[in-house]
Amino acid sequence: GPFLPVSLDPPARPALRKSLLAQRDRFVRSAEAGSALDALCRHLVAAVRRAAPRCLGLYAAMGSESNVNAALVADAAAMPMRLALPS
């Protein structure tokens, strides 16, 4: 199934991490990646609107991580919240 075991033997963790990073890298280059990122952005923007934080911390995406900052920053302009940006 899609779920990982709750506990892993410490020696198995590096191999699992390497495998998961490789899967993410392949997905980012796939045809489905663009629509998946759009859906993720819509979901996160809706969640942030429901939470209505006074301050939202953003992060700098690295490598093949999903970068949702543009969607959150654009939506933040319509909401009264401060943004904490990475330096």
pLDDT in tens, 1-20: 566 656 667 778 888 889 99
Taking every pair of C-alpha atoms in the chain, what is the biggest distance, in angstroms? 47
pTM: 0.71
The 10s digit of each residue's pLDDT in 36-66 is 999 999 999 899 989 988 898 888 888 888 8
Q: Is 66 exposed, middle or buried (0-12, 13-18, 19+ CB in 10 A)?
A: middle
In whole angstroms, give the CA distance from residue 7 to residue 23.
21
Q: Check residues 33 and 8 and name the one with the higher pLDDT.
A: 33
Confidence of residue 23 (pLDDT cuts 50, 70, 90): very high
The 8-class DSSP code of residue 84 comes to E
Look at residue 28 in the predicted model and tell me its pLDDT: 93
